[in-house]
Structure 1
């Protein structure tokens, strides 16, 4: 089967490979309601179509891609059916929290999906809620009563699963001490930026300016850990296009206070190139050079939805050492942390040392012998060591790119 569509102009598709160009054009067509033009377009089929769909799948946008290429085929219909079921279940859960008068703030994909041309095609792995600190026990009680099982989670996050349903309840939008004080202050002010969600009394959403700030910050946070995919940028584009009355002076205040203005301008510039979204902060802004755009585009497109398909975890760890200190000896510091993880990390694996920091050396010995006598762990450890010893050059490249695009508000 061949599908015809209008070609992206040279500037917007420059230096991307054919599959990446087609994927972005398909996404752009979906978001902006464009029809493919067979008269001046390009035909794809067979392996090329498979490659485009494969890339879309890597970015959790397969249903969008297939909808544009093939219409409502079986995969698209299945995706719509799953989404309808999940949203129905989420709304029932929200109603339960409203009834029990437990404050909940909805955000990100649950809100942004409504701004897509076909909301059911904007899929998500989990649904995120912000809760107030001190309400953790109440949340566990509600979720347990509704038949959800609690999953292992990070600090500040409680995760619950039942069948296809997966929810994360956050007491904070970011890890403590991960960012500069100005960023952390604004993140910790989230509840003061909330407004009632619909007609609910106990369910909230963020004010538009803060929500857009958070979507930009969320990209930055994922860049810091591993990466961010195309969907995070399309979320920005549909949000900006939907919120015509958004107060950009207020958004600018948030961004300037956190030293995030340059990063936000570059995020908007990417959205403008890919989705024809006009830069709402600075209409005249262009990236300082085409190379920076190419670096960011390659990093985003190669990494998948959350960056896990691109560079290795070890490369990200080395780069974070460079971000936090300097590039000199970053690999050695990463190796040291591989053999001797922090107390915070080790107490998650060995809870018995909670409040007993003097037992930390004991856990190192337990971990060492645990890795030796368990082949799968040993193989993974060797792979991690190899990744650390080989990841320095790529980590340095990422570190330089981060600084150039405005990611200098990390500690």
Structure 2
């Protein structure tokens, strides 16, 4: 890691304990810019700013550009925290409303993770995720409309979608209602849903500002957080916020987690070395406490080099969205994982250019109703890439191929594929 990246990781770690960093000497403008750039791309800006603004390095900063930069991020932090506070309150009102309507639902990630942090609303969330049984989906949809929420996509067929996003006019609240936690159409992680088929039978409960929220069982929720990060890793990557969630959850609920079951599940999805690397990052760079989390010896003895995963995390941003080339590289990584996990003999290059109908349905909704238009969807997809190539010569495509191949090698390192 470069110095600014080390400082960034240090601020994230300090924020998890509501501490300030103890930097004595002023930082350069480039270092401050890099730290805050990383904080933004990993969606942890309020957490980072809160840890640095009282330190001597800030007090001793005399350079006008640096001071202006710090003031800019102070204002941004205040705005983000106020916005998150509003979203939290509105979500709690929604939960109460849906419960009164008799909607049985589980909340995952989002507010459940925020409650693990010393200052919950400094851990910002883009949305809230709700898991609803498909038999209650229509009832839930009507209740959401009554509450003032509307589907983000107009004309959407809620009967065929596995998740539907909703927004409320004049409100920052954004929710995703899921029939399943992962897209059943995915040839790579659609099978992950089998671990959560009976989640409603033994839910955990947490109290947030007087509102009782039902969520996944402790072991299932930690596994879901790992699976969610894993899904994005198989695409184009994930960020530090996801690592923090996993570590904070483990520290808080470790004694209630069936670690042996978690290890077995991780092995079933070829993810034990990936998960072990996450915990090693947590121990080495963050505040993962093996004793507090009741982390067993069988997990501790897994030998893995966490530095490779940490490098990928820092480069990726919150959901692997750091750079168009990285996002496009997911076509290579997903196709290679699918080819190996499903025992396919397809040419990986042709599979990248002409994906299967099942995977194309995620990108082209019309294929769910008119599957025979798959060749048209392929053509649209190819024309999009051609348009991008004309914009930036073929550099973007070349870089995407390079990143994709590098990340395939990384997956081999963690024994996800052979």
* Structure-1 residue corresponding to 2:167: 161
- Unmatched 5+ stretches in structure 2: 55-72
SS of 1:306's equivalent in the other structure is: coil
Contact 2:326 2:403 in 1 (8 A): no
- 217-226 or 312-321: which moved more? 312-321
Please give the alpha-carbon distance, in whole angstroms, between the structure 1 residues aligned to 2:151 and 2:15. Answer: 37
Please give the alpha-carbon distance, in whole angstroms, between the structure 2 residues aligned to 1:192 and 1:217. Answer: 20
CA deviations 1:87-113 (Å, max 9, x no partner) are 110000000110000111011121111
Alpha-carbon spacing, 1:368–1:188, altered in 2? closer, same or farther (3 Å) = closer
* Structure-2 residue corresponding to 1:335: 353
Please give the alpha-carbon distance, in whole angstroms, between the structure 1 residues aligned to 2:26 and 2:161. Answer: 49
* Structure-2 residue corresponding to 1:10: none
* Structure-2 residue corresponding to 1:101: 102
* Structure-2 residue corresponding to 1:405: 414
2:318 to 295, 298, 305: 305
1:384 Cα offset (Å): 9.8
Alpha-carbon spacing, 1:113–1:406, altered in 2? closer, same or farther (3 Å) = farther
Please give the alpha-carbon distance, in whole angstroms, between the structure 1 residues aligned to 2:390 and 2:370. Answer: 30
1:50 Cα offset (Å): 2.2
Please give the alpha-carbon distance, in whole angstroms, between the structure 1 residues aligned to 2:130 and 2:262. Answer: 22
CA deviations 1:146-165 (Å, max 9, x no partner) are 22221138941110012311
- 320-329 or 341-350: which moved more? 341-350
1:75 Cα offset (Å): 3.6
1:319 to 333, 350, 354: 333
* Structure-1 residue corresponding to 2:53: 70
Query: Is residue 296 from structure 1 mapped to residue 305 from structure 2 by the alignment?
Result: no
The correspondence of residues 254-403 of structure 1 with structure 2, limited to 5 A, is 254-279=265-290, 280-282=295-297, 284-285=300-301, 287-289=303-305, 293-310=306-323, 311-325=325-339, 329-337=347-355, 342=357, 345=360, 349=364, 351=366, 356-361=370-375, 367=380, 379-380=387-388, 382=390, 386=394, 387-388=396-397, 391-403=400-412
Contact 1:58 1:305 in 2 (8 A): yes
- Unmatched 5+ stretches in structure 1: 1-15
The correspondence of residues 141-156 of structure 1 with structure 2, limited to 5 A, is 141-152=142-153, 155-156=161-162
1:300 Cα offset (Å): 0.6
CA deviations 1:129-172 (Å, max 9, x no partner) are 11111222222212222222211389411100123111000110
Contact 1:182 1:258 in 2 (8 A): no
- 197-206 or 145-154: which moved more? 197-206
The correspondence of residues 123-134 of structure 1 with structure 2, limited to 5 A, is 123-134=124-135
Q: Give the TM-score normalised by the residue count of structure 2.
A: 0.79
Please give the alpha-carbon distance, in whole angstroms, between the structure 1 residues aligned to 2:110 and 2:98. Answer: 19
1:25 Cα offset (Å): 0.4
Query: Is residue 170 from structure 1 mapped to residue 153 from structure 2 by the alignment?
Result: no
Contact 1:229 1:307 in 2 (8 A): yes
Please give the alpha-carbon distance, in whole angstroms, between the structure 2 residues aligned to 1:257 and 1:368. Answer: 33
Alpha-carbon spacing, 1:86–1:330, altered in 2? closer, same or farther (3 Å) = same
Query: Is residue 44 from structure 1 mapped to residue 45 from structure 2 by the alignment?
Result: no
Alpha-carbon spacing, 1:222–1:70, altered in 2? closer, same or farther (3 Å) = same
Alpha-carbon spacing, 1:330–1:87, altered in 2? closer, same or farther (3 Å) = same
SS of 1:138's equivalent in the other structure is: helix
* Structure-2 residue corresponding to 1:6: none
Number of equivalenced pairs: 379
CA deviations 1:165-210 (Å, max 9, x no partner) are 1100011011225347974421333333423454999952112111
1:47 Cα offset (Å): 3.0
Contact 1:156 1:175 in 2 (8 A): yes
Contact 1:173 1:188 in 2 (8 A): no
Query: Is residue 234 from structure 1 mapped to residue 248 from structure 2 by the alignment?
Result: no
1:188 to 179, 191, 197: 197
* Structure-2 residue corresponding to 1:61: 44
1:408 Cα offset (Å): 4.7
Contact 2:187 2:338 in 1 (8 A): no
* Structure-1 residue corresponding to 2:6: 21
Alpha-carbon spacing, 1:382–1:330, altered in 2? closer, same or farther (3 Å) = farther
CA deviations 1:293-329 (Å, max 9, x no partner) are 3321221101111011055232110122222226994
Contact 1:229 1:303 in 2 (8 A): yes
